[in-house]
Amino acid sequence: MIAYREEKIKNAICYFAKAHRKATKKYLYQTFLYKYLAFLEFKSLEELGKPVFGLKYLAMEKGPVPIEIYSKRKDYKTDLFYFKEIGDDKIIVVPKEKKANLDYFSQWEINEMERLVEIYADRFVYSDDISEASHQDIKAWRRAFNIKPNMIIDYDLCFDDLDKKRDEDLSHIEDQYLVYRALENIQKGES
């Protein structure tokens, strides 16, 4: 399961790096990547009840940032891409020749990735713009940031009073999320 998850993350990064570069003629900056991943992850939680990757995000000032990727940003390299520092802690994602394998993704996920690129991969959309959009569109980031900046965003924050609802009052998506959360807790050895 961990290897599959890593392949899925790696292929998503490659997809966004190539698609963004094709649309803008510019390399994908780390800020854009983090927002693309967060938009995809949190939209999936809100519409399907489970995250695409299961990444942990920090509620940073500029929006949600995936910890696992952010912590490797200085030397993250795979067979599909590498991160390159270009000065002043600015990092771009450089895709390699190999294409992203979209077989790792559902049709919903592919459609959403394409939609995100269509919206944000524009020469006139800047890092501040996509960061501001994440502030507006990702409810869990707003809630976490208001509790404590730089805290880990709990996926529960995507939902309203989830643990206070009776089973019969849960929406289908909330029910799906609770199943996902229970399975994750079992996998981690929690109860």
Is 131:38 a contact under the CB 8 Å cutoff?
Answer: no
Is 91:47 a contact under the CB 8 Å cutoff?
Answer: no
Nearest-angstrom CA–CA distance, 22 and 92? 15
What is the pTM assigned to this prediction? 0.95
Nearest-angstrom CA–CA distance, 126 and 147? 27
Residue 191 confidence (pLDDT) above 70: no
**Interval 64-93 mean pLDDT:** 94
Residue 183 confidence (pLDDT) above 90: yes
Among 90-94, 111-115, 161-165, 187-191, the least confident range: 187-191
Query: Which two three-digit tokens encode residue 51?
Result: 């995250």
**Interval 14-33 mean pLDDT:** 97
Nearest-angstrom CA–CA distance, 100 and 15? 5
Residue 190 confidence (pLDDT) above 90: no
Reported as half-sphere exposure (CB side, CA atoms, 13 A), residue 15 has a value of: 25
Q: What pLDDT was estimated at residue 87?
A: 83
How far CA 46 is from CA of 41, 142, 175, 177, 188, in Å, comes to 9, 15, 11, 9, 23
Q: List, in sequence order, every residue forming a beta bridge with 66; answer none if it has no partner.
A: 57
Q: What pLDDT was estimated at residue 81?
A: 97
Mean pLDDT of the chain: 95
Phi, psi dihedrals of residue 92, rounded to the nearest 5°: -115, 160
63 Rama sector, left if φ>0, alpha if ψ -120 to 50, beta otherwise: left
SS3 sequence, 52-114?
CCCCCEEEECCEEEEHHHHCCCCCCECCCEEEEECCCCCEEEEECCCCCCHHHCCHHHHHHHH
Q: List, in sequence order, every residue forming a beta bridge with 92; answer none if it has no partner.
A: 29, 84
Residue 15 confidence (pLDDT) above 80: yes
Residue 1 confidence (pLDDT) above 70: no
Q: What pLDDT was estimated at residue 187?
A: 85
Q: What are the pLDDT digits (tens) for 33-62?
A: 999 999 999 999 999 999 999 999 999 999
